[in-house]
Amino acid sequence: MRTLEISEDKLADLNQLGGRILIDELNYEYRVDYESKTSNKITWRCLVVGCPPRCCINGYVNKPIKFKNSNHSHPADVNTIKKSLIVNDLKKEAQLYEDKPTRKIITEKQLNVSIETAISLPSYDALRQTVLNYQMSSK
């Protein structure tokens, strides 16, 4: 068992997955597995199906995390995480500002990330299609 401190900015809100995602210091992603009705305790489980690690945290706040099993069956991929955060951001913005030019939404995102992350992002055309789909769906 190991205990990690998690920083607030790593608690990301990913609507596409129906809830919050927690990212630990080794860049593994977790979803909410169980939320206690009687206490603040929330159990998180690794996003990868069949991967055993779970952890408990007190509420959605910056508290130490206790892992029940820290042996993931797969490597963590920091660029995948950053990518999913950015694409999710893009979708939210597309829904929020359906009349904002697609190019503007995308270039704003591309300019705000490191070169390493920018390289791992989907192509401009793919991002454009994502924005358009979400702008359509919010109409």
Q: Which of residues 88-107 bind Zn ion (CB under 5 A)?
A: none
Given 17, 48, 113, 118, the residue binding Zn ion (CB under 5 A): 48
- Contacts for 83 with CB less than 8 Å, ≥ 6 apart: 117, 120, 121, 122
Which of 9, 7, 12, 8 lies closest to 32, judged by CA?
12
DSSP H or E stretch at residue 55: strand 54-58
83 touching Zn ion, by CB under 5 A? no
72 touching Zn ion, by CB under 5 A? yes
46 touching Zn ion, by CB under 5 A? yes
Helix axes 102-111, 124-137, angle to 10 degrees: 130
22 touching Zn ion, by CB under 5 A? no
Task: Give least dist CB 98 to Zn ion, A.
Answer: 36
Question: Residues interacting with Zn ion, by CB under 5 A?
Answer: 46, 48, 51, 72
